[in-house]
Amino acid sequence: MPELVVTALLAPSRLTLKLLRAFMWSLVFSAALAAAAVYGCVALTHVLCRPRRGCCGRRRRVAPACLSDPSLGEHGFLTLRSSGLRLHYVSAGRGNGPLMLFLHGFPENWFSWRYQLWEFQSRFHVVAVDLRGYGPSDAPQEVDCYTTDLLMADIQDVILGLGYSKCILVAHDWGALLAWNFSVYYPSLVERMVVVSGAPMSVYQDYSLRHIGQLFRSNYMFLFQLPWLPEKLLSMSDFQILKTTFTHRKTGIPHLTPNELEAFLYNFSQPNGLTGPLNYYRNLFRNFPLEPQELATPTLLLWGEKDNYFELGLVGAIGSRFVPGRLEAHILPGAGHWIPQSNPQEMHQYMWAFLQDLLD
């Protein structure tokens, strides 16, 4: 068929897709402006209630001692083959078993896996990375440096760079989103997955379009589409919005000590420390609309009954995309979003049972 005819036949579909994307972006930026107004009021209230802190975040000069706790493992850097970037990681148990690779979420870092590093280093080589943009890892400032394709290439380079051909991938929140995609596009590198509080982006997209309440729970992701303003709002009153996220009585991390809180705030307080992590969100809508993906990697899915950011209905939506028999899902009663830190013992029990056959 002549190329001109093919182009003419495809023109209506391409025009429809362009119009759909234009409409989507108009909605996203309308929501972003509304979210900015709300979070702006919240940030201003924090400043007025704590005027001595001022409008800016205080830069931390010294890292808290818990970030160098030797019982958690050895610190290292890995230069990625694809990009040349250096990623920071903490490693323990090399030679004790298969690679167990941990991917953190926002606003976290490798330290969010401290309980799992202690628990599993006796039978696995446990490695918790600081994803690009986080902590001591390299943090390019351009939004285009944080596309899903580049972030998946980072994970591939970490696995191969550590000398392995496959791993057990353990992921939470943003790390979970990356892990789902990685298991689809690099299935040979993932032997098992443990996913906590995070849905595949295509599942999240379809579910949110049918359940508007989920979009309200994720209102912050619209704010993060804007340039520079989210960094400013999150840092006001010495990062009070982030502090509240971590320590809120109902939705935060229970029993988080001041030293542990500083372990998360330390890197965000450095110059441009928030820009890299927020650039993940600025790429979220780049490929809308997404096609459904079939999920086949054997996966343990853990979800908090009282997760403030994701509805329980997402668990069923994820299950509907799975090859039968490949998903083991558990909803933890009373648990919130931060299961690796708030409910480590329950998480460990499910993980040991799920991975037992690999150790026999």
348: how many CB neighbours lie within 10 A of its CB?
16
- What pLDDT is recorded for position 218? 95
Is 207 marked active-site? no
pLDDT band at 252 (very low <50, low <70, confident <90, very high): very high
Percent of the chain past pLDDT 70, that is, above it, reads: 95
- CA 7, 10, 12, 13: dihedral to nearest 10 degrees? -150
Please tell me which residue in 204, 281, 309, 350 is annotated as part of the active site: 281
Q: Give CA–CA dist 162/320, Å, rounded.
A: 34
- What pLDDT is recorded for position 11? 56
User: Hey, which bits of 49-151 come out as E strands?
Assistant: 74-79, 86-92, 99-103, 125-129
The upper half-sphere exposure of residue 274, i.e. CA atoms within 13 Å in the direction of its Cβ, equals 20
The upper half-sphere exposure of residue 122, i.e. CA atoms within 13 Å in the direction of its Cβ, equals 4
pLDDT band at 51 (very low <50, low <70, confident <90, very high): confident
* Residue 179 and residue 103 in contact, taking contact as beta carbons nearer than 8 Å: yes
Is 248 marked active-site? no
Identify whether 271 is preceded by a cis peptide bond (ω within 30 of 0): no
pLDDT tens-digit series, residues 161-216: 999 999 999 999 999 999 999 999 999 999 999 999 999 999 999 999 999 999 99
Please tell me which residue in 138, 173, 238, 307 is annotated as part of the active site: 173
pLDDT band at 13 (very low <50, low <70, confident <90, very high): low
User: Hey, which bits of 80-204 come out as E strands?
Assistant: 86-92, 99-103, 125-129, 167-172, 190-196
* Residue 89 and residue 127 in contact, taking contact as beta carbons nearer than 8 Å: yes
- What pLDDT is recorded for position 244? 97
Per-residue 3-state assignment (H helix, E strand, C coil) for 190-247? EEEEEEECCCCHHHHHHHHHHCHHHHHHCCHHHHCCCCCHHHHHHHHHHHHHHHHHHH
pLDDT band at 3 (very low <50, low <70, confident <90, very high): low
Q: Over range 32-59, report the average pLDDT.
A: 92
Please tell me which residue in 46, 88, 172, 337 is annotated as part of the active site: 337
pLDDT tens-digit series, residues 321-350: 999 999 999 999 999 999 999 999 999 999
pLDDT tens-digit series, residues 274-297: 999 999 999 999 888 888 999 999
- What pLDDT is recorded for position 27? 85
Which residue, chain included where needed, has tokens 């400013």? 232
Tell me the average pLDDT of the chain.
94
- What pLDDT is recorded for position 14? 65
- What pLDDT is recorded for position 55? 84
Is 125 marked active-site? no
* Residue 112 and residue 104 in contact, taking contact as beta carbons nearer than 8 Å: yes
Q: Over range 305-314, report the average pLDDT.
A: 98
- What pLDDT is recorded for position 77? 98
- What pLDDT is recorded for position 360? 79
SS3 10: helix
